[in-house]
């Protein structure tokens, strides 16, 4: 994996561990020689992620909609800042530019990006690893919900392993590097669905 799309919040929670986590992830990825593709913002976890990677000499590609540039939240320090028309183009660029997806804590936008990466993996729009860093147990309930979808049958057994979740970044990156794509829905016949 040469580049990861990293999804995370643009907010700065009162609990400083989250911002420190994002900065640390940026630093760790840069030290591994891995580029970061992210939302292009300078605020919150996104800004900390980019700062950590840039300070460690890493490549950071920001992808940001024009409306957020107009709101003055774009990060001018990125190695490259790509301005797109809307969120759909932004998410497509994340997929096109990266070798996998890494999700850190965040809010609604982060969840949208994570679920789309998982959905696209199920369908076959990409065959890249989808990782979730469950730092501080932040995603415990989301992982329980995902397990409920699997147990109920809304996620097929062949797709149950798409989401790779770990509490530790090194373990997660190792699992992502060893990723084997699931059989895509586009490759299946109706009788298999």
What mean pLDDT do residues 8-21 have? 97
pLDDT at 166 over 80: yes
Q: Is the pLDDT of residue 190 over 80?
A: no
Work out the average pLDDT over 109-131.
96
Q: Give the model's pLDDT for residue 192.
A: 73
In this predicted structure, the answer to whether residue 123 has a pLDDT above a threshold of 90 is yes
Structure confidence at residue 157 as a pLDDT band (50, 70, 90): very high
pLDDT of residue 187: 85
Task: State the pLDDT at residue 188.
Answer: 74
What is the reported pLDDT for 186? 84
pLDDT tens per residue, range 46-100: 999 999 999 999 999 999 999 999 999 999 999 999 999 999 999 999 999 999 9
Q: Mean pLDDT, to the nearest integer, of 169-179?
A: 98
What is the per-residue DSSP string for 119-161? HHHHHTS----EEEE-GGGTTHHHHHHHHHHHHHTSS-GGGTT
Q: Give the pLDDT confidence score for residue 147 in this predicted structure.
A: 98
Where along the chain do its domains lie? 3-192
User: pLDDT tens for residues 129-145?
Assistant: 999 999 999 999 999 99
Domain 3-192 falls under CATH 3.40.50.450: yes
């Amino acid at each position: 994996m040469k580049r990861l799309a990293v999804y995370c919040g643009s907010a700065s929670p009162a609990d400083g561990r989250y911002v420190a986590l994002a900065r640390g992830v940026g630093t760790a990825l840069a030290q591994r020689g891995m580029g970061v593709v992210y939302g292009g913002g300078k605020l919150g976890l996104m800004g900390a992620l980019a700062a950590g990677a840039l300070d460690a000499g890493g490549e950071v590609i920001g992808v940001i909609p024009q409306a957020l540039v107009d709101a003055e939240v774009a990060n001018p320090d990125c190695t490259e800042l790509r301005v797109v028309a809307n969120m759909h183009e932004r998410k497509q660029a994340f997929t096109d530019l990266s070798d996998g997806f890494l999700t850190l804590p965040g809010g609604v936008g982060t969840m949208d990006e994570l679920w789309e990466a998982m959905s696209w993996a199920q369908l076959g729009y990409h065959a890249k690893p989808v990782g979730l860093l469950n730092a501080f147990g932040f995603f415990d309930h989301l992982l329980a919900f995902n397990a409920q979808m699997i147990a109920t049958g809304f996620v097929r057994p062949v797709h149950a392993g798409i989401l790779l979740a770990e509490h530790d970044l090194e373990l997660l990156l190792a699992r992502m590097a060893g990723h084997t794509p699931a059989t895509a829905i586009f490759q299946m016949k109706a009788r298999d669905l």
